Chains A and B, each alone.
Chain A
Amino acid sequence: MRATIVYPSKKKYLWHAKIIMNLSDMEKRSLVTIADHSREKIEYLIQMAQEFEKHPNRHLLEGKVVATLFFEPSTRTRLSFETAANRLGARVIGFADPKVTSGTKGETLKDTIMMVSNYADIIVMRHYLEGAARYASEIAPVPIVNAGDGANQHPSQTMLDLYTIYQTQGTLDNLDIFLVGDLKYGRTVHSMLNAMYHFNPTFHFIAPEELAMPEMYKQFCRQHGIRYVEHTDFNADVISGADILYMTRVQRERFTDLMEYERVKDRYLLKLDMLSKARPNMKILHPLPRVNEIEYSIDDNPHAYYFEQARNGLYARQALLCDALGITLDEVRKDKSII
């Protein structure tokens, strides 16, 4: 069944694209990017994740089969999705390593998706090509959950970041969010802009010049009235105004000029003494894996929150799976299958 959806507000969309699409029922339930979600939908998913935080073990998805197709390995994300499915009583099929798929034998993505759709109720997909999840959602007869498509989108990471921000601050509104490190290639920080613009944030971009926030994202901020401040320095004074300090890795391979890398590589490391002026409510987040950008002595500091953040990935992904399978917040709240 296909229905024509004309979205009332194009403000909701990145790039001011005028989007008039024919969406199938499955496309509507699929999760391709957080940019497709309204403020209300994000709040709704946060409330659902809260229910799973209270009671993660249930029989809610009993009888369902969840396929996890990882055309590119990502152990962390796969384990998180598979745990989410298992703790809700679903069974999991799939592959973790692209070498075992027939893609290398020349099978198209479409053929793989159509084949797996015969077996599974939902497909969680990680792919190295950008736009793969959008395409899969258009052709699949079952909902698709994007677990990362190249450098493009990683909405379950964004959802767990939003959940963590809400959990630590009690709100998503009017926060001072400081993004640190690789702001040029870091898709998590770009998705954060797309998702947070519903909530009147003030962003601070802290990065070396070579990895600064790209102009098109700054343009997005200006178009949507999001305030932002850019810094190249990273010290106690700069971060004293933060509610959220979101750290990312500065990777050597991102630099065209290795001299420049050597010059800036230690400038964006978070050290314990830099927290002296931090707000009491400030929390440090990191999408993990960390290398050395957060000093290990910070792990026991009350501002550190990256391990809790990773655990929230479970609840956020439980909510995303249920939502894509058509299970409502009301049904989750009235669920009697809690173990």
Chain B
Amino acid sequence: MKKQLLVAAIENGTVIDHIPSEKLFAVVNLLHLDQMTSAVTIGYNLESQELGKKSIIKMADKFFTDEELNQLAVICPNLTLCIIRDYEIAEKRTVTLPDELRGIVRCTNPKCITNNEPMHTHFHTIEGQRLRCHYCNTVISLDDVRLVEKA
């Protein structure tokens, strides 16, 4: 049986493919997709040869800054994105973990000032592997990252 395209193509915008399904909603939150006004198509639990189940997000007429996209590396280190222009893939991009993350990741130390004061968290990346809290110096492995809950 011929495979069908489950999600419709877009004319212009951004496509994030091969998202591990368990990470989909974290990606949705991080990119604030709930606040978008243009068309967003989300495919959840699609069959994938590499990942078993994968998810995909297509956002029409939406282009992100490098800074916005690189935040995704915190939850999906090897994510690939396609920038679509005129139905064609104009550019393929992989995300890279930025040197600093502000307001994205929660500090795991309950005695950290960021967990007790209305303020943004701030982390520094160490050797692309771990994060160090700018305030309390707690070091978090990328596997243990929890994101800041949006109000």
The interface of chain A, by Cβ under 8 A from chain B, is 14-20, 108-110, 127-132, 134-135, 149-152, 216
- Whether the pair A130, B132 counts as a contact (CB closer than 8 A) is no
13 contacts between A and B (CB under 8 A): A16-B127, A18-B125, A108-B118, A109-B113, A110-B119, A127-B113, A129-B116, A130-B109, A130-B111, A131-B133, A131-B136, A134-B134, A135-B117
B114 within 8 A of A: yes
Q: Which residues of the other chain, A, contact B124 by a CB distance below 8 angstroms?
A: 15, 17-19
Chain A residue nearest to B127 in the complex (CB): A16
> A216 CA to B111 CA in the complex, in Å?
19
Greatest chain A CB density within 10 A among B99, B112, B126 is at B112
Provide the residues of chain B in CB contact with A150, threshold 8 Å: 111, 136
Q: Tally inter-chain residue pairs, CB-CB below 8 A.
A: 65
- Complex Cα distance, B122 from A134, in Å, reads 11
Q: Is the CB of B113 within 8 A of A131?
A: yes
Residues of chain A contacted by B134 (CB below 8 angstroms): 131, 134
Q: Given A152-B136, A152-B137, A216-B139, is A131 in contact with B114 using a C-beta cutoff of 8 Å?
A: yes
CB distance from A143 to the nearest CB of B (A): 18
Q: Contact between B117 and A108 (Cβ–Cβ < 8 Å)?
A: yes
The complex places the Cα of A132 from the Cα of B127 at a distance, in Å, of: 26
Asked if A129 and B112 make an inter-chain contact with CB atoms under 8 angstroms apart, the answer reads yes
- The chain B residue sitting closest to A109, CB to CB, is B117
Determine the distance from Cα of A14 to Cα of B134 in the docked complex, in whole angstroms.
Answer: 11
**B25 CB within 8 Å of chain A:** no
Which of A108, A130, A216 has the most C-beta atoms of chain B within 10 angstroms of its own C-beta? Answer: A130
Give the residues in chain A near B111, CB-CB below 8 Å: 128-130, 150-151
Most-contacted residue by chain A among B114, B117, B125 (CB, 10 A): B117
- In angstroms, Cα B134 to Cα A19, docked, is 10
- For chain B residues 79-113, which have a beta carbon within 8 Å of chain A? 99-100, 109, 111-113
B63 interface residue (CB < 8 Å to A): no
Determine if A135 and B135 form an interchain contact, defined as CB atoms under 8 angstroms apart: yes
Q: Is the interface of B mostly helix, strand, loop or mixed?
A: loop
What residues of chain B lie closer than 8 Å to A18, measured between beta carbons?
99, 124-125
How many angstroms between the C-alpha atoms of A131 and B99 in the bound complex? 20
Complex: A134 Cα to B133 Cα, angstroms: 11
Interface of A is mostly: mixed
Q: Which residues of the partner chain A approach B118 to less than 8 Å between Cβ atoms?
A: 108, 110
Question: Closest CB of chain A to B144's CB: distance in Å?
Answer: 15
| Cβ contact within 8 Å between A20 and B132 | no
| Min distance, Cβ B124 to any Cβ of chain A, angstroms | 4
CB neighbours of A130 from chain B (8 A)? 109, 111-113, 135-138
From residue A22, how far is it (CB to closest CB) to chain B in Å? Answer: 11
Residue of A17, A128, A132, A152 with most partner-chain B CB within 10 A: A17
Q: Return the chain B residue nearest A131 by Cβ.
A: B135
B117 touches A110 (CB 8 A): yes
Contacts of B116 in A (CB 8 A): 129
B112 touches A131 (CB 8 A): yes
A contact residues around B136 at 8 Å (CB): 130-131, 150, 152
The answer to whether A16 touches B114, judged by C-beta atoms less than 8 angstroms apart, is: no
- Report how far A135 CA is from B118 CA in the complex, Å: 11
Closest chain B CB from A254 CB (angstroms): 16
Expressed in whole angstroms, the Cα–Cα distance for A135 and B122 within the complex equals: 10
Q: How far is the CB of B114 from chain A (nearest CB, A)?
A: 7
Residues of B within 8 A of A109 (CB): 113, 117
User: In whole angstroms, how far apart are the Cα atoms of A131 and B116 in the complex?
Assistant: 11
Please measure, in the bound complex, the distance between the C-alpha atom of A150 and the C-alpha atom of B137, giving whole angstroms: 12
- Assess A15 versus B112: contact at CB under 8 Å? Given A130-B136, A135-B135: no
Q: Are A17 and B126 in contact (CB under 8 A)?
A: yes
Q: State A14–B133 Cα separation when bound (angstroms).
A: 12
A16 touches B113 (CB 8 A): no
In the complex, what distance in Å separates the CA atom of A129 from the CA atom of B100? 22
Contact of A16 among B119, B126, B137 (CB under 8 A): B126
A108 to B124, CA, bound (A): 25
CA distance A58 to B49 in the complex (A): 77
CA distance A19 to B122 in the complex (A): 12
User: How far is B111's CA from A174's CA once the two chains are assembled, in angstroms?
Assistant: 36
> Closest 10 CB pairs between A and B?
A131-B135, A130-B136, A131-B136, A131-B113, A17-B124, A129-B113, A132-B113, A135-B113, A134-B135, A18-B99
